[in-house]
Amino acid sequence: MTGTTDLAEAVCADDGRLEGVDLRVLAQRLGTPLHVYSAPAIGARIRALQTALRGQDALICYAVKANSNLAVLGLMADAGLGADIVSAGELQRSLRAGIPAGRIVFSGVAKSADEIGDALAAGIGRFNVESKDELRLLQDVAAARGAVARASVRVNPDVDALTHAKISTGKSENKFGVGIDEAREWFADSTRLTHVRLDGLHVHIGSQMLCLDPIQLALQRVAALWRELTSSGYAINSIDVGGGLGVRYRDGQDQPVSVQDYAEVIRKTLDGFGGRILLEPGRWLVAEAGFLLTRVLRIKQGRQRRFLVVDAAMTELVRPSLYDAWHEIVPILRRPLPPQIYDVVGPVCESSDTFAVDRQLPPCEPGDLLMIKTTGAYGAAMASNYNSRPLAVEVLLERGRYAVVRRRQTLEEMIAGEQPARNWECA
Ligand code: LLP
């Protein structure tokens, strides 16, 4: 049951247990909505990727944005992973979790001077630079600190990732990276960079990719640039292949690529590259290890539809509202009765607060516990306090035991920092 790479098997919903922990007891003790993460399932994914990359000089830099809980980051740190960060907040989380600064890469289109300064002070490994303006800023901030920043240019290879438009990043119309021509110019001008060592290439074309072709095409374009730059005398010491590996959200429909095939594409396209390969997987490492537990509040028969009203909302899992994403929903107790059709909806006052439309489920009753699957990535990490809902509790599971890794937010914590308008000041 544990340690398998087929994370679905980590769940044994038939007896209401996950990693040997009784989910009904957990829900009773901690309340719902409740995020649970299987530590062995995350560990199995880490090991599978490390094994697939064996023999290559590769460093996995976990994309912190997928799930930034300190305990999850701790698992990454323990396994020797680095981190891909996009903010000063993610930098601090990664350092606190014990990820060495030298294994941290900093991506993102809007790094501020302060964030760059913090990252330089911490001694991070590399900046993935996304615009000429950012390159100039990096040079200035590094010069002011008397430091030399290592940097890669994020190349936008103009490749369609064949995924949802809202999570595509590698087409020229997207805000990310720079075109290959511009990347070439950066190297030509790089002698003027006294405090930036531009010696790497970075690419990330999108997320939830279920096909290797776009990844291969993007890497081929990056590899051609690396070869060209090398033959022009520029040293390229690092190629960052980004993240984006997809996972199975919909049983019987989504077919994730094998990690061995993925590693093989990297090995083949970058054949002959003597530097270090960086990878930035987020979702693939954590998505299938996470589950959102929610209780049925009531069943509401509308004029046209039957609503299963649950206590989780878009505030705990926004993916269905934002991307029309499919997540499997499984009642913990399955009544052996003919299924019913429900729209599964949350308490938030938005029609888009809907987890599923026309979903066939075993008949449910108020008080039933449901498990929404594949919520380990971009679930809690994208949570909000909308409708003044406190952030949900998060729990790590392993071998019959659990640890609360984020307690449920209290009302006081939620409103901390707010105050009546008393101390007016002029500006
Ligand atoms: N590297 C960079 C530069 C990224 O922007 C991302 C994700 C990753 C790595 C990790 O990608 P992954 O391996 O997780 O696919 N909220 C969306 C996903 C947004 C992804 C943003 N960037 C969702 O819930 O589907």
Mean local confidence (pLDDT), 105-120: 98
CB of residue 87 inside a 6 A radius of ligand 1: no
- Catalytic annotation, pick one of 211, 349, 364, 426: 349
Residues 338-350 have pLDDT tens digits of 999 999 999 999 9
Mean local confidence (pLDDT), 157-180: 89
Mean local confidence (pLDDT), 365-393: 98
Q: How far is the CA of 204 from the centre of ligand 1 (A)?
A: 9
What is the average pLDDT value for the chain, to the nearest integer?
A: 95
- Within-domain flag for 125: yes
Mean local confidence (pLDDT), 287-296: 98
Predicted local confidence at residue 404, as pLDDT: 98
In sign, the C-alpha dihedral spanning 66, 278, 208, 19 is: negative
- Within-domain flag for 20: no
Predicted local confidence at residue 12, as pLDDT: 52
Quick one: 276 and 321 in the same domain? no
Classify residue 18 by its DSSP letter: E
| Domains of the chain: total | 2
Residues 232-244 have pLDDT tens digits of 999 999 999 999 9
CA angle 276, 59, 92 (to 5 degrees): 120
Predicted local confidence at residue 168, as pLDDT: 83
- Within-domain flag for 244: yes
| Block residue for tokens 């993925």 | 262
Mean local confidence (pLDDT), 133-158: 97
Burial 357-392 (b: 16+ CB within 10 A, else e): eebebebbeeebbbbbbbbbbbbbbbbeeeeebbbb
Tokens (6 digits) for 266: 């990297």
Quick one: 194 and 336 in the same domain? no
**Distance, CA of 12 to chain centre:** 25
Residues 4-43 have pLDDT tens digits of 345 545 555 568 999 999 999 999 999 999 999 999 999 9
CB of residue 281 inside a 6 A radius of ligand 1: yes
Q: How far is the CA of 287 from the centre of ligand 1 (A)?
A: 12
Quick one: 151 and 200 in the same domain? yes
In sign, the C-alpha dihedral spanning 354, 282, 214, 186 is: positive
Predicted local confidence at residue 220, as pLDDT: 98
CB of residue 63 inside a 6 A radius of ligand 1: yes
Active site residue 364: no
Percent of the chain with pLDDT over 70: 97
Gap between the Cα atoms of 72 and 66, Å rounded:
10
Predicted local confidence at residue 13, as pLDDT: 53
Mean local confidence (pLDDT), 45-57: 98
Q: What is the pTM of this model?
A: 0.96
Quick one: 246 and 357 in the same domain? no
- Among 281, 305, 322, the domain-final residue is 281
Predicted local confidence at residue 171, as pLDDT: 87
- Within-domain flag for 47: no
pLDDT band for position 3 (cuts 50, 70, 90): very low
Given a cut of 90, whether residue 58 has pLDDT beyond it is yes
CB of residue 320 inside a 6 A radius of ligand 1: no
Tokens (6 digits) for 417: 């920092």
CB of residue 378 inside a 6 A radius of ligand 1: yes
**Which amino acid belongs to residue 69?**
N
Predicted local confidence at residue 149, as pLDDT: 98
Quick one: 112 and 256 in the same domain? yes
Quick one: 244 and 345 in the same domain? no
The CATH number of residue 127's host domain is 3.20.20.10
Quick one: 324 and 361 in the same domain? yes
Q: How far is the CA of 279 from the centre of ligand 1 (A)?
A: 12
Going by their DSSP bridges, the two strands 276-279 and 82-85 should be labelled as unpaired
Given a cut of 60, whether residue 214 has pLDDT beyond it is yes
Residues 186-213 have pLDDT tens digits of 999 999 999 999 999 999 999 999 999 9
Quick one: 159 and 257 in the same domain? yes
- Within-domain flag for 43: no
Residue 389, Ramachandran bin (φ over 0: left; ψ between -120 and 50: alpha; else beta): beta
Mean local confidence (pLDDT), 239-267: 97
Least confident of 161-170, 226-235, 239-248, 376-385: 161-170
Domain hosting 199: range is 107-281
Please list, in sequence order, all residues whose beta carbon lies within 8 angstroms of the beta carbon of residue 350, skipping any fewer than 6 positions away.
Answer: 314, 321
Beta-ladder partners of 246: none
Mean local confidence (pLDDT), 377-402: 98
The CATH number of residue 356's host domain is 2.40.37.10
- Within-domain flag for 305: yes
Q: Alpha-carbon dihedral of residues 61, 198, 262, 372, nearest 10 degrees?
A: 40
Predicted local confidence at residue 14, as pLDDT: 61
Quick one: 202 and 236 in the same domain? yes
Quick one: 266 and 325 in the same domain? no
Q: How far is the CA of 61 from the centre of ligand 1 (A)?
A: 12
Quick one: 259 and 366 in the same domain? no
- Among 223, 257, 281, the domain-final residue is 281
Predicted local confidence at residue 173, as pLDDT: 87
Classify residue 180 by its DSSP letter: H
Quick one: 272 and 395 in the same domain? no
Backbone angles phi, psi at 394, to 5 degrees: -125, 140
